[in-house]
Structure 1
Amino acid sequence: MRRGRDAEHPGGGRESAGAGRPAPDEAREARSRAIPRRRGEGLAGDSPRAQASRLIGVEERNPCSRPEPKVTFVVATRNRERYLPGCLESIERQAYPNRELIVVDDASTDGTREVVSSVSPSAILLSSPKQLGIGGAYELGLARAGGEIVVILDDDAYLTDTGSTHLIARRFTEVDDLGILCFHVEAPDGTTRAKENVRRDKQVPQREEEIAYFLSGACAIRLSALRRIGGFPLDFEVAATELDVSFRLLESGYRILFAPYIRVVHLDVATEEKETRREFYLVRNNIWLAARYLPFPFAQVRTLLWLGWGMISGLRSGNLAQALRGGADGLARWAELRGEGWTVSSATIARMNALSGRTWY
């Protein structure tokens, strides 16, 4: 059995997991830079099936119209040897030759390495001896990415169609200011769970449209755009990572598009650690978001709302201590985060609200 190319990550931890947040002056400079122009027609008038057919049809009529850009798949995993094969197999089945796969093993103690070697022997396997959290694991993989287009999939999710990568690459080639393409995520029974709906009004878009939020475990990212805004947050571990990136991406002038023609099935396998600390991460991280990005008085109002939500949710779930700790940790860094220089403009807040974005939760 041939192993993938292993690269031991010696440092572990947040500092060694890729680029951090830009300094305040760099953040202000990033917001003032020229934004790429849009080009290419949108697909808003078509159904999901028609959108996919139209994109494929154009390529079939013009097979040599442009070179295929390299696409990098990044899968971060931890102790999911039972579910990881389905994810990797869906990537291996993609009918797109110019691609690579990077699997980040976030300090697993099961047979993750053997699964990768068996299912995807040509994958780049990056192993961290220390648990990095979701942002750190992503950044470790992104640091090795060879493609400008990066597809991120949860380790318990899989692409349903073999032509998905082809459609993803074409859309990024057409739309210059496209920062993130968010996929349509479904449960195994074909339904859309509320927490995986990208709109505040819970309406699943049936056509490609601009949105203000994305799902990090089912999306494609323009790597240069992510680097420009400082990458994924390394201090969140879990919860609200996507909203943190969304604030910075939209403030810098990029767009997030929902692509109903790219479908992903997500098993959404819960872990004991995630469930027992759910209130802690949600309360702490959302208070940090308020302090870091929202202007007065929205920052103060959102902070109070999440403190109240944490108390109610903690009482209902029996995790009140976790909610209280999350609130305390969130408030402890409030002044520090407020001074980072990433407070978004009122125009960005209005834009997110107009797009039914998750400004408040």
Structure 2
Amino acid sequence: MPVRRWFRRPDEQDAPDRDGEHVVTDPRQASALASTADEPLPVRLRVPDVDALRHLAMAADGAMTQDLRVHIERWEAPSPRWRGRMAPLRDTRTVTLSHDPARRTASAHVSLHAPLPVARVLDALIPAFVPDAPVVGAGFPLLAVDPSAGAEALPLLPSRRIPQLEPIAPALEGRHLRKADVLLTARTDLAREEEDAVHQLTVGEALLGHPRVERPVIDLNVHNPIGRILGFKPSPPARRLVIDRPRGVVRLLGATDPDLRPIEFAIAEPLSARDVAAVRNVEAVDLSPLAGLAGPVPEGLTTRFAELAAAGVILHSLPDSVAIAPEQLSPRIADAIRRPYRPAMGLERERRSVALRRAAMHDHAGFLRLASAVEHRTGSRYLPSVSVVLSTMRGELIPGVLEMMARQTYPHMEVVVVAHGIPAPDLSGVELGGLDVTVVEVPSTVLFGAALAEGVRRSSGDLITKLDDDDWYSEHHVFDLVLAHLYSRADIVGKTTEYLFFEEVAQTVHRTFATERYHDQVAGGAMLLSRAAFDALGGWRPTPNSTDRSVLIRVETQGGIGYRTHSLGYMYIRHSSKHTWERTDSQLLNGSFEQWRGWRAPEV
């Protein structure tokens, strides 16, 4: 990423100010601080957004400081009450954080008892400004990033923080214990790395993954749909894509309004966080102007297509004359963006947008590529496993739910069925494929929350999600939740009851819910959180109802945050029988946006 796009004031020179402190506006100069001073000097940074901290932390190899100030010029509060916390950092003396949602700015001042690398301090500050729940997994290899990896390694990382080689205190040194299990590096001379890590993995190897995939990657921490235009809002002005070859940029122009302010970004460089924010309210981009494209597709353009798709933008009408090779772009995306599209609200818009973002994330996500390479190199899984927990008193519904779970596309999952006051069902005729299923019997005297808790105790997954026995789930449901967990880094993620089917009147309803947003509420039948977070919260309380709400309340009161992803792939079904969620049909119909007679699945 060019520095000029990280910083608002490129005319400012990096030099000591009147107090002898260095004001660094160019991250390439951060490493020079250590060599230009006899002792570490205070460092002041002015950055455009939180994502710039990641790039600076990667670029600041060697720079040391004992006093660091950071001012973020464009900061958004994920939710009104959320306030982040700096990660633990040794030798910290004082930490002062300032969040100003009204002015959309934030700042930090960290003073240390002893000098530390600038990169380490910046990395610890990231969760002070943006949700960044830790990566979890029992027995996961410990990953570290060598500074030589450079910015090319950022799209591969599982979170916004950069895992660095941590020194081992002499008293804790163990026999043959190294600082990391896998070191991500760009170095070809691995003599030093062999002392630091058990395995070395070059950035080039990680970008290709295993099996080898000749296709560019996107960064889930940047290229994601957080804050997307909502499905029930009117379509914004249409945009069309044109290429400015002399300047090497793409321009998104108003299709019908020539006065609409263009959105512009470089063809050959990854979309920055600022670029992604600029297209949040761009519903769709017409690619038909590329019909006049002479010669091959400009290098980098198809990667920009994948990044836009991951952000939720509907790309459409790409002419057949524009050839795209499979190694340039996922064939699923290439096929989808050739189809025409007319601006539309509601379910039609969501289906087109979600299909594209799923394809972009599944086929281009850097972390998925890294996870496959790490597993191949070490033999240990680096993707979280998911435990799906179902507690039911209606044995006749269990086979149908298990068949839906057997069709899930996420590769690492198990299902724990809690037979609550009923005998274990006969599953001999159920099409389970290779699904790992455990059935637990608990007596009817056990409260609903306690029955769910017993299911969790009998599970083994790194992530836990709950099913309701009578709702509908598509084959993408679990993978949707895992992706939201990865790109939001929220403490709990989920879908919501945006799509309802009223069984008695055979009516499908689409309600107006804010999705792809940080939010306190998610649906109990479509929530996911890590086992570590679940245990820290105390899990489901032993109550007969409102068990899911009890978890959400404690997430909020303990300073955590939730995230709502899109609701496709999940349908809440309302029967005439009693529900643990006590709401009348008229209450559930409030805010309905679209209605259809009969069953209308959110996706086929």
TM-score normalised according to structure 1 size: 0.56
Matched, 1:220 2:535: no
State the alpha-carbon separation in 2 of the partners of residues 250 and 116 from structure 1.
Answer: 43
The one of 481, 500, 511 aligned to 1:168: 481
Unaligned runs of 5+ in 1: 1-30, 198-202, 283-312, 314-361
Tell me which residue corresponds to 1:267: 573
Question: Compared with structure 1, are the counterparts of its residues 87 and 185 closer, same or farther at alpha carbon in structure 2 (3 Å cutoff)?
Answer: farther
Mind listing any 5+ residue stretches in structure 2 that lack a counterpart? Answer: 1-82, 88-126, 133-159, 161-220, 229-311, 313-348, 372-381, 502-506, 585-604
Identity fraction in percent: 19
**Do the aligned partners of 1:48 and 1:261 also contact (CA within 8 Å) in 2?**
no
Give yes or no for contact 2:391–2:452 (8 Å, CA) kept in 1.
yes
- After superposition, the C-alpha distances for 1:302-356 in whole angstroms (9 at most, x for unaligned) are xxxxxxxxxxx9xxxxxxxxxxxxxxxxxxxxxxxxxxxxxxxxxxxxxxxxxxx
For 2:40, the equivalent position in structure 1 comes to none
Letter in 2 for 1:132: V
The residue identity in structure 1 corresponding to 2:408 is: Q
Q: What does 1:161-240 align with in structure 2 at a 5 Å threshold?
A: 162-188=475-501, 189-192=507-510, 203-205=512-514, 207-234=515-542, 236-238=543-545, 240=546
Against the structure 1 CA distance between its residues 271 and 190, is the aligned structure 2 distance closer, same or farther, given a 3 Å change threshold? closer
Distance apart, 1:249 and its partner CA: 0.3
2:467 alignment partner in structure 1: 153
1:76 pairs with one of 388, 391, 400: 391
CA distance in 1 between partners of 2:428 and 2:448 (Å): 19
Matched, 1:64 2:369: yes
The letter for the 1-side match of 2:547 is: T
Distance change >3 Å, CA 32–CA 131, structure 1 → 2:
farther
Could you tell me how far apart the structure 1 residues matched to 2:530 and 2:350 are?
A: 22
Q: How far apart are the structure 2 equivalents of 1:34 and 1:136?
A: 35
CA contact (8 A) 1:182 1:256 kept: no
- Aligned amino acid, residue 142 of structure 1: V
Give a deviation string over 1:181-234, Cα, whole Å, max 9, x none.
234453334315xxxx7xxxxx322x4112222221222222211211111111
User: 1:265 offset after TM fit, Å?
Assistant: 2.2
Instruction: Give the conservation status (yes or no) of the 8 Å contact 1:208–1:259.
Output: yes
> Highest CA radius of gyration, 1 or 2?
2
Query: What displacement does 1:131 show?
Result: 3.5
Instruction: Determine if contact 1:226/1:249 at 8 Å carries over to the other structure.
Output: no
Write the letter of the residue equivalent to 1:125: V
Contact 1:56 1:167 in 2 (8 A): no
Q: Which runs of 4+ in 1 moved over 3 A?
A: 31-37, 46-49, 115-122, 268-272
Matched, 1:92 2:397: no
User: 1:148-185 CA distances to partner (integer Å, 9 max, x unpaired)?
Assistant: 2122110111212x222222222222333332323445
* 1:29-48 paired onto structure 2 within 5 Å: 37-38=131-132, 39=160, 40-41=221-222, 42-43=224-225, 44-45=227-228, 46=312, 48=350
What amino acid does structure 2 have at the position aligned with 1:233? R
Q: 1:258 aligns with which of 564, 576, 597?
A: 564
Q: CA deviation at 1:33?
A: 8.8
Residue 437 of structure 2 is aligned to residue 123 of structure 1? yes
Question: What's the CA shift for 1:261?
Answer: 4.3
3-state SS of 1:75 partner: strand
Q: Which residue of 2 aligns with 1:325?
A: none
Residue 54 (structure 1) aligns with: 357
3-state SS of paired residue (1:113): coil
- Matching residue's letter, 1:174: Y
1:184 touches 1:260 (CA, 8 Å); kept in 2?
Answer: no
Higher mean C-alpha deviation, range 115-124 or range 137-146:
115-124
- 1:76 shift after superposition: 0.8
Cα–Cα, structure 1 residues 133 and 53, in superposed 2: closer, same or farther, change >3 Å? farther
Structure 1 residue 34, shift from structure 2 partner: 6.9
Aligned length in residues: 232
Question: Residue 209 of structure 1 contacts residue 259 of structure 1 at CA under 8 Å; is this kept in 2?
Answer: yes
Matched residue type, 1:65: L
Task: Give distance in 2, aligned partners of 1:220 and 1:116.
Answer: 29
1:270 shift after superposition: 4.7
1:135–1:163 Cα change, 3 Å: same
Determine which structure has the larger helix proportion and give its number: 1
CA distance, structure 2, for counterparts of residue 242 and residue 151 of structure 1: 11
Residue 565 of structure 2 aligns to a residue in which SS?
strand
The normalised TM-score by structure 2 is: 0.35
User: Partners of 1:165 and 1:90 in 2: how far apart?
Assistant: 11
Q: Do the aligned residues in 1 keep the contact of 2:387 with 2:415 (CA within 8 Å)?
A: yes
Q: Which of the residues 547, 567, 586 maps onto 1:241?
A: 547
Q: How many angstroms apart in 2 are the aligned matches of 1:51 and 1:253?
A: 30
